[in-house]
Amino acid sequence: MRVMAFDYGTKRIGIAVTDPMQIIATGLDTIHPKDILDYLKKYMLTEQVERFIVGEPKQMDNTPSQSAMHVKGFVTLLKKTFPEIPIEMLDERFTSKMASAAIAQSGIGKKARQNKELVDTVSAVILLQSWMDRRLG
């Protein structure tokens, strides 16, 4: 079964998934928060998801950031809609910076690098990959 990660933002949610063997993390999509539940319900008609990983926004001093309350609301929505799927929170500090750096190093054009949807999706991939790396020890 797959593991799905979310980089939650009030304008966009970056989504990444593992392959069914949970070896590789891949960017899936970027969705507006109001469309996320319909998107997930449709996705889960054809794919099995074992667990959700949600980026936990924190300040440098480890306190919750301004967007933490929005993420908390999103997690509550996930729990209510998909009660059978466990949710893990994972510190997401630096994922957007790492995503921007990875995109810049990829050699794609400036216009593509400024695509915030791409940054959100890559952030979700980095989040999921770090969860997988931690699990493997």
Q: What is the pTM of this model?
A: 0.81
pLDDT tens digit sequence for 75-91: 999 999 999 999 999 87
pLDDT tens digit sequence for 89-121: 987 665 666 666 665 666 666 666 566 776 778
pLDDT at 73 over 90: yes
CA distances from 75 to 5, 46, 55, 118, 119 (A): 12, 22, 10, 22, 21
Strand order in the sheet with 87-91: 25-31, 13-18, 2-8, 49-56, 87-91
Query: Residue ranges per domain, the chain?
Result: 2-136
Tell me which fold the domain 2-136 belongs to.
Nucleotidyltransferase; domain 5 (3.30.420)
Contact 44, 2 (CB under 8 A): no
